[in-house]
Amino acid sequence: MGLQVLNAALAIPAGFIVGGKLTRKKAEQSQIRTTRFCTCIFTSAVLFFVFAASAILALREATLPAELEGMLALPFTVTWSMVWGIIVVGGAGLLTVNWLLTGLAVRLTHRFLSTP
């Protein structure tokens, strides 16, 4: 399944690059907002495809619930419903964090580089 949190961390350098370009172009506030929004959409879409591919590969494992149970030494039985819940809730949370990191990185980079 991989560690998808590290993929979400790639939103930070993407935000730095876009924020730097906006500063260099001396963009207006409306252009900054639009570009930040489009960047958040792009990075979230890329992460969604990475996450979906990882989830598909994980769900093809017939023994996934038992593997999770053994790997994490859980005192209860893991069901397929729990696995689906982890995928859906974890994926939504990860996409939210990715969106926030991207927007924050663009905003902070632009503010930092445009300060005299």
CB 51 within 8 A of CB 94: yes
Per-run averaged pLDDT (10 residues), the chain, 116 residues = 76 94 92 95 94 90 88 89 92 94 94 84
CB 42 within 8 A of CB 85: no
Predicted TM-score (pTM) of the model is 0.84
CB 11 within 8 A of CB 94: no
CB 49 within 8 A of CB 91: no
Give pLDDT, residue 1. 53
| Distance separating alpha carbons of residues 53 and 37, to the nearest angstrom | 24
